[in-house]
Amino acid sequence: MKNFIDNDTVINQINDTNPIHHMNQKEFDAALLKFGALLSILRNKRINQTMLLQVLLEDEDFRESFKMISEIENEHTLIKGLVLRFPILCKSKIIKNKIKEILNDGTRKTVL
């Protein structure tokens, strides 16, 4: 009988002991707090994680600014980082609707 090791488990164990991963995570968290504070000041209201992701999905200027602050190359990594940091975003109706709008471009497709 062979022992099979789950790849995700191995990667998680490596990341838990990897100091570079911890530094990257702390830098991402700091960039997230800074950008959230900036957005809160500009909008003059409190910003939660759902609203932050909604703004990043809607506004390209804010998205590019956050990518520059957090030193992330593409949108996929940005969204993945936010969803891993805040898993509750996967259940948010606002985010699901916004992603559907982006994917459908606002047009309804008919099936023949």
Q: Which two tokens stand for residue 68?
A: 């520059």
Q: How many CA atoms lie within 13 Å of 38's alpha carbon, on the beta-carbon side? A: 13
Q: Which residue has the higher pLDDT, 74 or 105?
A: 74
CA distance 77 to 44: 28
Contact criterion met (CB below 8 Å) for 14 and 22 = no
The pTM score is 0.67
Convert the pLDDT of each residue in 13-71 to its tens digit: 666 676 776 677 888 889 899 999 999 999 999 989 888 988 988 889 999 989 888 88
Alpha carbon 85 to chain centroid, angstroms: 7
pLDDT of 4 reads: 55
Distance CA 54, CA 96 (A): 10
* 62, two tokens: 């804010």
Contact status, residue 70 vs residue 28, Cβ threshold 8 Å: yes
